[in-house]
Amino acid sequence: MKLLLVEDDTTFANTLKRRLEKHGFTCWHADTCNDALLACHRHLPDFILLDMKLHHESGLNLINPMRQLRPQSRIILLTGFASIATAVDAIKLGADDYLTKPVDTQTLLAALNPKAAKTEPVISQDEDKVLSAEQVEWEHIQQVLKFNNGNVSATARQLSMHRRTLQRKLQKRPTPTKSA
């Protein structure tokens, strides 16, 4: 069971690597898009764990080329910035699953195991957690804001939103909702 871990956070990558090696995976780590494609070509992994945000690049851009290199590999997108839009994009591009960080070992192993794989992507490892539309929007705004290094004007332009509207949205953090 060969696994390629594409993650720019070295500490998190090493932790995941140790956890997965305890469960029988042989792991390789890459922290850039170019290194990931080279490692995918060189090691021919059966599984690929792909971070969505790699430095200033998007892991979404790697899904298609990796799928072409390894059509039978199981590709799991990991992200600290979950949103419905990126989950849909990832699945449309060819990812097999979508998990939010931090991810527990059992959830990760269930996503990696093809026999236990579900037909629908996993959007959150916390099954009791249901995100409202406002929470999804908030998470997306935070992701774009971080990408723009906190620049509200650039974020508003990227989101096609008036700057004052964005500022109002940033002042109102939505409260989590729980399902029964």
At 105-164, the pLDDT tens digits run 888 888 888 564 444 444 444 444 556 667 777 777 877 777 777 888 888 888 888 888
Determine the Cα–Cα distance for residues 62 and 15; give it in Å rounded to an integer. 22
CATH number at residue 136: 1.10.10.60
What is the domain count for the chain?
Answer: 2
* CATH at residue 6: 3.40.50.2300
Do both 154 and 65 map to the same domain? no
120 within domain boundaries:
no
* Among 49, 40, 108, 43, residue whose Cα is nearest residue 75: 49
Answer yes or no: do 154 and 79 share one domain.
no
Distance CA 127, CA 104 (A): 12
Full domain range(s) for residue 172? 129-178
Shared-domain flag, residues 12 and 95: yes
Residues 100 and 138 in one domain: no
- Predicted confidence (pLDDT) per residue in 3-46, tens digit: 999 998 888 889 889 989 998 999 999 988 899 999 999 999 99
Q: What is the rounded CA–CA span in Å between residue 86 and residue 1?
A: 28
3-state secondary structure of 72: coil
Does residue 138 lie within any of the structural domains?
Answer: yes
- Please classify residue 160 by burial: count the beta carbons closer than 10 Å to its beta carbon, then call 0-12 exposed, 13-18 middle and 19+ buried: exposed
Q: How far apart are CA 55 and CA 39, in angstroms?
A: 18
pLDDT of residue 123: 45
Q: Which of 101, 106, 73 is nearest to 11 (CA)?
A: 101
| Domain boundary pick from 61, 77, 112 | 112
Q: Which of 78, 112, 146 is the last residue in one of the domains?
A: 112
